[in-house]
Amino acid sequence: MIEMLRLRNNSRQGQRLITALVLFWLFCFFGWQGYNLYEKNCHYRETRFLFDTEVFIEAHGWGAKRAVGEAFATLQELHQKLNKFSPDSEIYLLNSKAGLEPVEVSALTFDLIEYSLYFSRITDGAFDPTVAPLVKLWGFGEDKPQKVPAVEDIRQALRLVGYQKVVLDKERRTVYLPEKGMSLDLGAIAKGYAVKQAVNILKNNNISSALVTAGGNIYALGRKENGEPWKIGIRDPLQQGGIIGYVQLENEVIDTSGDYERYFWEEGQRYSHIIDPRSGYPVQGLSSCSVLTDDPCAADALATAVMVLGAEKGLDLIEQQKIMGVLITSNGKIILSQKMQGRFQEWEEIVYYNQ
């Protein structure tokens, strides 16, 4: 009898041990699966090539992957609408109808063109989306050799430039370019507009920590997941791979416009892709301008405008708009706006790099 009781007790203990092991295994398995699910949904990064540059989004928070996917869907739609080289785009159709008839466009495209004309007005034409005929004449963005055009050709192209000529009809949501040969180039503001749309989508999905970059336009939403502000380096335009300093961002954007990536040489003179819409010639004097504000669109457009205006007038514009800027002249002089003097810090290890 005693032996039978011992056997029963041993059997029960064995069953308990097996049950405990099974429960432990299930806990480990489903706990690990839950951890993977949490990581997959709360921390997500993705890069796509849009707007002729790499667009990168890093997001942290529940539903991050879904939010980033939604943002990229809108950016893909924008890219298709704004690609001036694609016959299927709204900008291509608009340019092809110049001097013929108004063109109805989507709400996104109309909104961006409105933004563009606003920045044209406040910069007195230093930023001008109708600069496209000049950009084409100089060979930038075109599948042909880049060369200095004849003076008369520049004069002819200048006749087609002027943001005041663009006719908007908000009720019908139409845009009209009244002269044949006119065309829009939104490349100097499209990336900023794209970043703005992406950030709004992330916010609407309750994402409170993210980094969105499109070329030189970088927006930091909230802080990094470890609670620190985002640290963004500013490139030295005169030294490849060099950094002149950095700023820390939180719910802010920095955008850099420079003459160091797209340019050509002719007879010992360097000509960049940033064209002054008033003179018809590439800008001179500044090598780069970084603008810091809370609006990606403004940062994109104003960085270009400052490059056109030059150091003195460009700095005046920055101060008037109550934003921050770092200007670097063609001989390497660094000029900081008043507010930027308290934000700009000399180089150390950089976490993210502003192109």
Q: In the structure encoding, which two tokens stand for residue 181, read together?
A: 């040969």
Helix (H, G, I), strand (E, B) or coil at 201: helix
Instruction: Quote the CA–CA distance of 6 and 81 in Å, as a whole number.
Output: 81
What range defines the domain where residue 283 resides?
Answer: 44-60+207-354
Spatial distance between the Cα atoms of 237 and 227, rounded to a whole number of angstroms: 31
Task: Examine residue 83 and state whether it is found in any structural domain, yes or no.
Answer: no
In sequence order, the β-bridge partners of residue 221 are: 210
Reported as a single tens digit per residue, the pLDDT across 292-323 is 999 999 999 999 999 999 999 999 999 999 99
CA distance 339 to 38: 41
Q: HEC string of 59-88? A: EECCCHHHHHHHHHHHHHHHHHHHCCCCCC
Give domain status of residue 69, yes or no: no
Residue 38 to residue 59: CA distance in whole angstroms: 13
90 falls within a domain? no
Domain count, the chain: 1
Q: Is 45 exposed, middle or buried (0-12, 13-18, 19+ CB in 10 A)?
A: middle
Of residues 226, 255, 254, 258, the one with CA closest to residue 242: 258
Q: Who contacts 125 (Cβ-Cβ below 8 Å, separation ≥6)?
A: 162, 163, 277, 278
* Residue 65 located in a structural domain: no
Residue 305 tokens, joined: 């405008």
Domain annotation covers residue 108: no
Q: Is residue 223 part of a domain?
A: yes
> Average model confidence (pLDDT) for the chain?
88
For residue 52, CA distances in Å to 88, 147, 187, 218 come to 17, 22, 9, 16
Query: Domain for residue 295, yes or no?
Result: yes
Q: Is residue 173 part of a domain?
A: no
**Residues 122/318/78/199 CA torsion (nearest 10 deg):** -130
pLDDT for the residue numbered 230: 95
Query: Which two three-digit tokens encode residue 109?
Result: 């495209």
Q: How far apart, in whole angstroms, are the C-alpha atoms of residue 20 and residue 16? A: 6
Q: How far is CA 167 from CA 153, 175, 213, 292, in A?
A: 25, 6, 32, 31
The rounded distance, in Å, linking the Cα atoms of 61 and 183 is 42
Q: How far apart are CA 60 and CA 44, in angstroms?
A: 7
Question: What pLDDT was estimated at residue 146?
Answer: 87
Helix axis angle, 296-309 to 311-320, nearest 10°: 150
Q: Transcribe 126-168 into DSSP letters.
A: SS-GGGHHHHHHTTTTSSS---PPPHHHHHHHHTT--GGG-EE
- Per-residue pLDDT tens digits for 18-73: 654 545 554 444 444 444 444 456 899 999 999 999 999 999 999 999 999 999 99
Mean pLDDT, residues 11-20 = 58
pLDDT band of 11, cuts 50, 70, 90: low
Which has the closest alpha carbon to 237: 342, 351, 333? 333
Please tell me which residue, 262 or 5, carries the higher pLDDT value.
262
Distance CA 166, CA 243 (A): 40
User: How is residue 65 written in tokens?
Assistant: 């992957």
- Spatial neighbors of 290 by CB under 8 A, at least 6 apart, are 234, 254, 255, 256, 303, 325, 326, 354
264: domain CATH number? 3.10.520.10
pLDDT tens digits along 131-170: 999 999 999 876 677 899 999 999 999 999 999 999 999 9
Tokens found for residue 274: 């940033």
Q: What was the pLDDT predicted at 104?
A: 97
Count of C-beta atoms within a 10 Å radius of residue 107 = 8
pLDDT at 48: 97
Angstrom distances, CA of residue 164 to CA of 48, 131, 171, 296, 299: 35, 12, 19, 24, 22
Instruction: Please answer whether residues 59 and 209 qualify as being in contact, where contact means their C-beta atoms are separated by less than 8 angstroms.
Output: yes
